[in-house]
């Protein structure tokens, strides 16, 4: 890792009481993993209840999408400032507070009598999730000794990567066997367990800074992230040229530029010293996570309609079909630190991105209506293994590029990158699939009544719904829609593979250096040297 890291503000850690023993470390890791699972599961869980909410609340599709997206928007917008506040006020108090608010918000959401109450509860849940998520990783990086940290980060990234699919599976199961409101039982149970374990097992740590909190930087970063995430979430629905989309893009870009200028002005008293992006590990880790999580999220958008509309599977069976990719992703995330210790972080990331690229190519080559699930299984497994191998060293590259005093900020930066990647991937691959479908089905609608043909162009679900109205053309329309979806799938997969291939070249040539992990004495010396340098200034 480069030693050109900019000097950081002098800080002094408080709390912690020394390094916990192995049993305590396992308890800490289990605690933060359960807390993280509650947050991640709530991102994707409501997707399986869209129809139920629309019927019960009498809500439009736009309102239902807001119920789902407002959580992610609030979460992403506040990650950076709340991560920094957690560093200052104490990581354990921030985690406890976040869990209590999150649990309460989940209860309110489960009992919500209207869409308005549901949206308010989801906003509160997103804010508290922004308190929880960066702290879970910051607790690991500030508590675990260097020789154990990589393994712990591997577990964290496995939960972060596969937890969404696992959460969706459990949510779909609850919807099938009970009622959609039981979806909120899962996060509440996880929060209660995590809260009890946090009070018992997680040590407190915080960092005293000689500088005041960067309030302006926090506010501007919130505006920037809100504007840009809003564009990615709403652009596909409202249109990329719609006035509100363009306005949000302008606000987000201007706020992002202002944030960079302000942080450069504040320098050592900044919320995030943007000069650290000259650090190879931080920059390359961020780029890798952005692309990998973007592709993963986009794949989920493509896979579910394939399972449900092309193969005719239920929501529960569709989530079960996603589980092999989630399981291998979580397994290889845990193995990645050992591999990185043997062959280096860059080499491990290169292998991971190569496998992920191969997985996309396999799914593009072999997907078919007739061969069904088996035509994409090999590609899904390669994708899962590749993502697991690339996520862990990327996350460790980001967190190790900032000192102990800034671990809440480092963790939040890691999480913001993931959220941006997710929103970007959903928007990009979803749009590619929709455009590919429309282009393909136009040539397959000969003989279909005009009204039914126009409906079929809107999407495969619409085509299947309107097919019975076309009489003898029904089966031909369904088959045409399924084949058109597969054609759009291939287009999306090939472009995704091209993006991953570009990332592969970048990681292979410019990825984090293949250096051995720092020993505890080396890390302490580095941080002491950085503090001495600041004091000398």
Distance in angstroms (rounded) separating the CA atoms of residues 337 and 331:
12
Fold for the domain defined by 275-515: Growth Hormone; Chain: A; (1.20.1250)
The pLDDT of residue 526 is: 44
What residue ranges do the domains of the chain occupy? 21-207, 214-270, 275-515
Question: Are 528 and 11 within 8 A, CB to CB?
Answer: no
The pLDDT of residue 106 is: 94
The pLDDT of residue 514 is: 62
Answer yes or no: pTM beyond 0.75.
yes
Question: Are 180 and 351 within 8 A, CB to CB?
Answer: no
The pLDDT of residue 34 is: 94
The pLDDT of residue 125 is: 94
Distance in angstroms (rounded) separating the CA atoms of residues 450 and 534:
72
CATH number assigned to the domain covering 21-207: 1.20.1250.20
Q: How many CB atoms lie within 10 A of CB 494?
A: 17
Distance in angstroms (rounded) separating the CA atoms of residues 418 and 156:
13
The pLDDT of residue 246 is: 93
Using alpha carbons, select from 207, 205, 196 the residue that is nearest to residue 27: 196
Q: Do domains 21-207 and 275-515 have the same CATH topology?
A: yes
The pLDDT of residue 289 is: 86
Distance in angstroms (rounded) separating the CA atoms of residues 376 and 310:
13
Residue 61: is it exposed, middle or buried by C-beta count within 10 angstroms (0-12/13-18/19+)? exposed
Query: Over the range 347-358, which residues count as b (16 or more CB within 10 Å of their CB) and which as e?
Result: bbbbbbbbbbbb
Query: In 3-state terms, what secondary structure has residue 391?
Result: helix
Q: What is the mean pLDDT of each run of 10 residues along the chain (537 residues)?
A: 41 52 88 91 77 81 81 88 86 94 94 93 94 90 84 87 79 81 89 94 78 86 90 80 92 93 78 74 82 83 81 84 89 88 88 94 88 90 92 84 71 82 81 83 80 82 82 84 87 90 90 55 45 40
């Amino acid at each position: 890792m480069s030693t050109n890291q900019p000097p950081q503000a002098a800080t002094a850690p408080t709390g912690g009481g020394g390094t916990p023993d192995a049993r305590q470390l396992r308890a800490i890791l289990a605690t933060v993993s359960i807390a993280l699972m509650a947050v991640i599961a709530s991102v994707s869980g409501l997707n399986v209840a869209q129809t139920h909410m629309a019927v019960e609340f009498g809500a439009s599709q736009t309102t239902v999408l807001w119920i789902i997206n407002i959580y992610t928007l609030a979460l992403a917008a506040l990650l950076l400032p709340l991560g920094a506040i957690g560093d200052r006020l104490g990581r354990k108090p921030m985690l406890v507070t976040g869990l209590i608010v999150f649990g309460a918000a989940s209860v309110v959401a489960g009992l919500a009598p209207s869409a308005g109450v549901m949206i308010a509860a989801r906003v509160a849940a997103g804010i508290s999730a922004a308190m929880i998520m960066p702290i879970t990783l910051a607790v690991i990086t500030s508590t675990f000794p260097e020789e154990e940290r990589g393994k712990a980060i591997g577990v964290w990234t496995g939960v972060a990567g596969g937890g969404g699919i696992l959460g969706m599976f459990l949510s779909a199961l609850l919807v099938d066997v009970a009622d959609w409101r039981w979806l909120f039982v899962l996060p509440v149970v996880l929060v209660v367990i995590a809260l009890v374990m946090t009070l018992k097992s997680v040590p407190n740590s915080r960092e005293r800074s000689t500088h005041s909190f960067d309030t302006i930087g926090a506010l501007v970063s919130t505006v920037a992230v809100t504007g840009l995430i809003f564009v990615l979430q709403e652009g596909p629905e409202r249109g990329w040229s719609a006035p509100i989309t363009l306005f949000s893009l302008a606000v987000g870009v201007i706020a992002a530029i202002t944030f960079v200028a302000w942080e450069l002005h504040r320098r050592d008293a900044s919320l995030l010293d943007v000069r650290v992006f000259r650090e190879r590990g931080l920059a390359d880790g961020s780029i890798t996570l952005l692309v990998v999580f973007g592709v993963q999220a986009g794949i989920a958008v493509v896979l579910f309609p394939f399972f449900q509309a092309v193969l005719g599977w239920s929501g529960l069976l569709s989530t079960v079909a996603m589980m092999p990719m989630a399981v291998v992703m979580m397994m290889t995330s845990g193995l990645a630190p050992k591999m990185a210790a043997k062959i280096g972080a860059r080499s491990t990331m290169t292998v991971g991105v190569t496998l992920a690229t191969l997985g996309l190519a396999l799914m593009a080559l072999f997907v078919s209506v007739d061969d069904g699930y088996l035509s994409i299984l090999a590609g899904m497994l390669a994708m899962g293994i590749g993502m697991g191998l690339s996520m862990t060293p990327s996350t460790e590259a980001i967190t190790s590029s900032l000192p102990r005093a800034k671990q809440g900020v480092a963790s939040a930066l890691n999480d913001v990158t993931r959220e941006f990647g997710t929103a970007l991937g959903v928007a990009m691959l979803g749009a590619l699939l929709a455009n590919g479908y429309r282009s393909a089905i136009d040539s397959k609608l000969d003989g279909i009544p005009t009204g039914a043909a126009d409906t079929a162009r809107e999407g495969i679900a619409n085509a299947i719904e309107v097919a019975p109205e076309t009489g003898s053309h029904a089966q031909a329309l369904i088959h045409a829609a399924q084949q058109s979806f597969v054609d759009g799938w291939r287009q999306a997969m090939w472009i995704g593979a091209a993006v991953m291939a570009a990332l592969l070249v970048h990681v292979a040539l410019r990825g984090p250096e293949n250096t051995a992990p720092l020993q505890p004495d080396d890390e302490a010396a580095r941080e002491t040297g950085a503090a001495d340098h600041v004091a000398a200034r």
